[in-house]
Structure 1
Amino acid sequence: MSEVMLALEGVSKTYNKGREAEVRVLQDVDLQVRKGEMVALVAPSGAGKSTLLHIAGLLDTPDAGTVSIGGVDFTGLSDRRRTIARRREVGFVYQFHHLLPEFTAEENIVLPQLANGMPKAEARLRAEELLARVGIGERAGHRPSAMSGGEQQRVAFCRALANEPRLLLADEPTGNLDPATSERVFEALVGLVRDTGLSALIATHNLELAARMDRVVKLDQGQVVAG
């Protein structure tokens, strides 16, 4: 049996809205993603998939339950230790690329590596390798404003993988793109995941893309169910 990379056990999350109103977003969620597995997370808008991804990626904490990555329970760790773990273990991709506009594609990928202690020369080589792998190596010196939406998102993928995480979390990574561009960008994402062997949990509205992953799970009334 392959190694479990991400494990959520009994995860619940409630938000308070006003003095009395409470919104239960997640309720006793159990979810596993195995090493090298791509799992699609399908849910309507507002169903809590972003909250689930934030908890899985150590950006938020659950009210109950545990979050383990690579067999290590990170639930009760200090904010500092969670930040270090997140930087080393997890890569994030969002619907919007969130690239730094004043830096080139290559620099956007180099910066998180420098923050993680990588020498600049090695960080640049890593950035060049990743950009070439997604087919836009010639765009390394361009700023985001000079790139298409699909190119920007592929740079965002490279940035997410810059520090060689073991887990990739993506929240509607093709949701802001037209169908043709979405297809190309999705293929680039799949290529990166398969080439590196990392695990991925990818939230998407696109059922056709979801069906091409290893497994589909759905978020329904705060709980994860099989697709």
Structure 2
Amino acid sequence: MSDPVLALEGVTKTYNKGKPNAVEVLRGVSCTVARGEVVALVAPSGAGKSTLLHIAGLLDTPDAGSVRIGGDDMVGLSDRRRTIVRRNDVGFVYQFHHLLPEFSALENIVLPQLARGVPRSEARLRALDLMARVGVEDRAGHRPATMSGGEQQRVAFCRALANGPRLLLADEPTGNLDPETSDTVFDTLMDLVRATGLSCLIATHNMALAARMDRVLRMDTGTLSDG
């Protein structure tokens, strides 16, 4: 059996460690995400899900435990190497789209590819292909402020997938949308994920959406359990 795309083992994290106001956020968390698997992460506010996603995506470091992406140990890597792995292997989607307002939708998807060294013409073609897959190709020249919330989040999906990552991490990706738009946008995301064989860890409060994923992990007081 091949290595899972993401594997966390015994991950702990405490903020303000050693101080009276120390907060133990993760308490020996372990989980895996297999190739092509879509896993829901369900947790109440303050339970540690954002910290878990940040550690899984190399935006933060654990106090103890291991983080492996594609079988490679990420703990102890230099900042430069962590940046390269984030850019090439990990895609992020947040509740708010965080698109660059001064650039068009197309440019927002092209820019991450240019940072990786992809030629502009190739980056533009990939961006247009991704936009066509999610039904926003006609918004390519529009800036985010002129687009609906659902359109902006679809562009954010495309940006997250622009560099062909192995792992997608999403933190309440439809949480800022009305229920009808949320369902439509989630359908779009799942179609895109299934078509690319991407591995995903998606945090959500929406149990109906969680039930449509391959597996559900529940987080409470810094620990994880199945179901």
Same fold (TM over 0.5): yes
Instruction: Report deviation, 1:19.
Output: 3.9
Partner of 1:158: 158
Secondary structure, aligned partner of 2:22: strand
Structure 2 letter corresponding to 1:104? S
SS across alignment from 2:103: coil
Question: 2:171 aligns to what?
Answer: 171
C-alpha separation in 2, matches of 1:115 and 1:89: 14
Moved over 3 A (4+): none
- The match for 1:73 is 73
Tell me what 1:123 maps to.
123
Map Cα deviations across residues 10-35 of structure 1 (whole Å, 9 max, x no partner).
Answer: 00000018941211000100000000
Residues 186-197 of structure 1 mapped to structure 2, 5 A cutoff:
186-197=186-197
Q: Which consecutive residues of structure 1, in runs of 5 or more, have no partner in the other structure?
A: none
Q: Note the C-alpha offset of 1:44.
A: 0.3
**How far apart, in 2, do the equivalents of 1:215 and 1:184 lie?**
21
Structure-2 residue corresponding to 1:138: 138
Match of 1:88 in 2: 88
Q: In structure 1, how many angstroms separate the alpha carbons of the residues matched to 2:104 and 2:170?
A: 22
Which of 19-28 and 160-169 deviates more? 19-28
Q: 1:2 to 1:215 in 2, by over 3 A?
A: farther
Partner in structure 2 of residue 97 of structure 1? 97
Give the aligned partner of residue 21 of structure 2: 21
Q: Which amino acid aligns with 2:178?
A: D
What stretches of structure 2 of length at least 5 have no aligned partner? none
Match of 1:219 in 2: 219
Q: Following the alignment from structure 2 to structure 1, what is the Cα–Cα distance between the partners of residues 89 and 164?
A: 8
Identity of aligned residues (%): 74
The count of residues paired between Structure 1 and Structure 2 equals 227
Counterpart Cα distance in 1 of 2:223 and 2:131? 37
Q: What is the CA–CA distance in structure 1 between the aligned matches of 2:69 and 2:61, rounded to whole Å?
A: 14
Supply the distance in 1 between the matched residues of 2:78 and 2:204 (Cα, whole angstroms): 31
Q: TM-score, normalised by structure 1?
A: 0.98
Change beyond 3 A, Cα 1:100–1:9: same
- TM (norm. structure 2) is 0.98
- Three-state SS of the structure 2 residue aligned to 1:176 is coil
Q: Give 1:199 deviation, angstroms.
A: 0.1
Give CA-to-partner distance per residue, 1:166-216, whole Å, 9 cap, x none: 000000000000000001110111011101001000000000000000000
How far apart are 1:148 and its partner, in Å?
0.1
Match for residue 45 of structure 1? Answer: 45
| Cα separation, 2, equivalents of 1:219 and 1:76 | 26
State how far apart, in whole Å, the 2-side matches of 1:17 and 1:66 are: 19
- After superposition, the Cα gap between the structure-2 partners of 1:72 and 1:17, relative to the gap in structure 1 and judged at 3 Å, is closer
2-side partners of 1:224 and 1:118: how far apart? 39
What displacement does 1:52 show? 0.1
For residues 25-64 of structure 1, the C-alpha deviation after alignment (integer angstroms, 9 at most, x for no partner) is: 0010000000000000000011110000000000000000
The residue identity in structure 2 corresponding to 1:135 is G
